[in-house]
Structure 1
Amino acid sequence: MRIPRLLTAVLSAAVLLTASATAASAATVGSYVALGDSYTSGPFIPVQRFDPLGCGRSTANYPSVLAAALHAGRFTDVSCAGADTTNMTRPQGVPFNGTNPPQLGALRIDTDLVTLGIGGNDQGVFGSLIGTCPGLRASDPTGNPCEKHFDGSVTSAIDNTGPRVAAVLAAIHERSPRARILVVGYPRIAPEKGYCPDVLPFADGDYAWLSSVEEALNRTLAEAADSEGAEFVDTFGPSRGHDACARGGSAWINGKDQNIFEAAAYHPLKAGMAGVAAVVLKTLR
């Protein structure tokens, strides 16, 4: 009779440990705050929130998916389309006469998880690329007219972004000293090989250059994270094969066509938000 009783005791202990581990896992994140720009907020991805509407903040963006997966006790998403590092400490005016308060104001002393997706809008880097490159394709469809147009200015802008992001991270540490901070990078927009001008109307030679700009920005974000004791989450590598040119519903990024019922032009789709959330979750676990 000793062996069955021993087995029963072991099995009971195992069940209790499993239940305790599950409960502990679910309670790991008591307070999660999401900060960032449109690649975090998810403009036009259903369902859009109205607090304020101009931020393009989706209930299906990666912070929302992540918060649900982590069973976060308190979840606050203050990400906003168009935000740059200055909007971490200053109000941001948005369309429809709205205002998004300084994003760092959402942090509390007991916040234990912060994700930050910022940097692409500093000095107009992202807006300059998508606003200029498509219009230059016709002048040299197989060349690299956009790279020639910017002539190194984008690299300088990215270099200047690093210290700004580092300053934001230092401020997060000050406000939420016990928080685990993840800097979430930008996913791939252009494919490694091939072209799809009907979806991504950059000149052929500018595809590789666009990717090099993204890689440079992500390196800068990683360096800023490392300098301030935060963690960098690489989404560029994991998004390989999920670029704007990807077919069969595997794209994470929308192309040139704005779709108010799906995603903003050149921005993450719902599938992209789910993909990024999975990458972040893997980093956390």
Structure 2
Amino acid sequence: MVATAAITVSATAACLVPATADNGPATGGVRHPVYVALGDSMAAGPFVPRRTGPLACGRSTHNYAHRLAARLGARDFRDVTCSGAETGDLTAPQRLTVLGAHAGAAPPQIDALTPGTTLVTLTIGGNDAGLVGVAGSCVRLSPVSGYCQDTFLRDGTDQEAARIDGLGPKLGAALDAIHRRSPAARVLVTGYGDYLRAGGCWPAVPLLGSDADWLQGSIDRMNGVIAAAAATHGAEYVDVRTPSEGHDACRAPGAKWVEGFVPTAPAAPLHPNARGEQAYAEVILARMAQ
């Protein structure tokens, strides 16, 4: 990471894996797990050096999963995170594209799990909700342009909110499938972070203030859906929104954890940079220690 996140990992140890584990507070109470990382581009870390795995997946050796695996001393680690993944790609092949061209398929991410898996992390849902595309449609080069959020209203109903709410059953089914494949695993499901400060920062991030608030509100709504699904399907929710406040895309290059439409550090637009991925790893470690 470029800079270490200001997060203190609790010294409280917890019995997280079988007796073969070497427990210790510095690693969130567990060492040497059999660890599988699942999820989308927030977890994969596209354009964060260095790439590993299929080009279309944009998977980085410095994403939060790799950082976490190193801190935990994972005795077996498989990272199958992939950009563009939706909940359906956890249990079915994912069609891959590079510059709009078909680039094969990735196996169902759940295939990486075994009965012996003891730790699973998962970040998923942003593509189900289509939030990156929604954000792109909200770009405004003039401060007097109309608000994009109005285009998502149908008969007084926020269609994007309805799409986000539809994520819950799909995520719940995916979590059930994970538990069936790896019944002994501790499953941690992250939300999504603070992308835009209140009121936005047009023109640095070219979203009008009201649209910026609506988009971050949509992300927060999705976090609520993810947390509820985790709670009712035997998983643990990891809040990255709260600790990432003040590290949104509007901040200075040395402070932001996520990039704007024009990145100032190696990362995909509207995605975590290396600093953010490292910070998320620290947040997950802190959650594991509780």
Identify the residue that residue 82 of structure 1 maps to in structure 2.
Answer: 84
Q: CA deviation at 1:99?
A: 2.2
1:119 aligns with 2:122: no
Q: CA deviation at 1:95?
A: 2.8
1:279 aligns with 2:278: no
Identify the residue that residue 222 of structure 1 maps to in structure 2.
Answer: 227
1: CA distance, partners of 2:276 / 2:263: 16
Identify the residue that residue 269 of structure 2 maps to in structure 1.
Answer: 265
1:157 aligns with 2:156: no
2: CA distance, partners of 1:248 / 1:138: 24
Q: CA deviation at 1:150?
A: 1.1
Q: CA deviation at 1:76?
A: 0.5
2: CA distance, partners of 1:22 / 1:268: 31
Give the CA RMSD over aligned residues.
Answer: 2.1
2: CA distance, partners of 1:225 / 1:118: 12
Structure with the larger helix share: 1
Higher RCO (CA < 8 A, seq sep 6+) = 2
Where 2:139 maps in the other structure, the secondary structure is helix
Matched length: 259
Of 202, 214, 228, 1:209 maps to 214
Of 96, 99, 108, 1:102 maps to 108
Where 1:257 maps in the other structure, the secondary structure is coil
Say which one has the larger Rg. 1
Where 2:36 maps in the other structure, the secondary structure is strand
Residue identity opposite 2:207 in structure 1: F
2: CA distance, partners of 1:166 / 1:138: 41
Q: CA deviation at 1:191?
A: 0.8
Contact preservation (8 Å) 2:39, 2:124: yes
> Which structure 2 segments of 5+ residues have no match?
1-19
Contact preservation (8 Å) 1:52, 1:99: no
2: CA distance, partners of 1:100 / 1:133: 31
Which deviates further from its counterpart, 21-30 or 110-119? 21-30
Q: CA deviation at 1:248?
A: 5.0
Q: CA deviation at 1:203?
A: 0.8
Identify the residue that residue 166 of structure 1 maps to in structure 2.
Answer: 172
> Which structure 1 segments of 5+ residues have no match?
1-20
The C-alpha deviation readout for 1:103-150, integer Å capped at 9, x for no partner, is 00000001000011000101x521332220004x63735x7x122111
The two structures have a TM-score, normalised by structure 1, of 0.85
Contact preservation (8 Å) 1:54, 1:98: no
Where 1:214 maps in the other structure, the secondary structure is helix
Where 1:138 maps in the other structure, the secondary structure is coil
